[in-house]
Amino acid sequence: MDVELSSGRIISFPFKHHKIDALYYHSPTHAEHVKNKPVILRLHGILGNLLDETEHLLPHLLAQHDYSSLTMNTLLANLGLFFGFGIFEDTMPQIDAAYYFLKEAGFKKIIIAGHGLGGCLAIRYGALRSNRSQYPEFRGVMAIATPYSLPDTIRKRWERFGSVPSYEEVFERARQIFTPAPGKEPTEDETIVIKRAHGTTTRPVDTEIYTLKTWWALAGPEATGPKTYRHIGKIKVPILLVHGLHDEMIDQHEFQALGQIGRDAGNNDVTMLELEAGHTLEGKHQELGQNIVRWLQERFE
């Protein structure tokens, strides 16, 4: 099947008094697909979509095999963490809006997928929507390069590179908002810049930006939503976990432990795939796509 390589098309659908933008890439035999094949709802995290080759190659490969996909931004994308409204748990109603958009479009099978932080979102959403009678279209989860616990991953990375300020210093500042010292008034939210968060330099590429509230909800030790190990056992639909053997952020034992928790909780369809790649799976997107297609065909056709 020949499919024109493009970036799909940007669509918007309503959410409360606003709208959500998403990248929609539909298969050539769209009408037949809606009736018989699953659609992939792909969740983005901090940087939003359209930024790397995965956003072009994977939807294209899926479309070649007659699978449509919708990649959505959430409150965590782009400026959400910078301005204080990117709260992890607040993304769940947004994902609901995309889910119902696809449902109203006629899709009978919806797979929730994500990479990194998007994988944390996918597993958290899957755990909250595990009731089959209420969400009959929800059929599977794909989590790629997903940490066992995002707060722990961020803490370890900051410690490794000697972040300024340190994880403990940010925690103490954020705690004054939520649990101030006795006799003290809660402090106001503020934007924080973390240098040496991704590497040893102080350049922007190695820098992270949050507000204290968005950091608390995403990276703080008391954040429960992004602690993936606490949620994966509640998912009863098929799960595909993907890990790069040379992932510089996620250790292999985290990947193995996540899969084991899912299986120990009674899910007899947890597939674990390892690729010779780093965290971004650069150079392995074709192989990743082929494995995803095989996983979809074996379960949903």
Mean pLDDT per 10-residue segment, the chain (301 residues): 54 84 75 79 74 65 88 84 91 95 92 94 96 95 96 96 97 90 84 95 93 96 97 98 94 95 97 94 90 95 80
pLDDT at 3: 39
Contact 130, 234 (CB under 8 A): yes
Terminal CA-to-CA distance of the chain, rounded, Å? 18
pLDDT at 119: 95
**Farthest CA pair distance, the chain:** 69
Rounded Cα distance between 206 and 266, Å, is 40
Residue 188: both structure tokens together? 């106001």
pLDDT at 21: 83
Contact 5, 56 (CB under 8 A): yes
Contact 147, 250 (CB under 8 A): yes
Q: Which domains, ranges and CATH numbers included, belong to the chain?
A: 9-149+226-300 (3.40.50.1820), 151-218 (no CATH)
CA 191 to chain centre: 23
Residue-level length of the chain: 301
Rounded Cα distance between 164 and 35, Å, is 53
pLDDT at 180: 77
Opening angle at CA 172, ends 167 and 177, nearest 5:
125
pLDDT at 285: 87
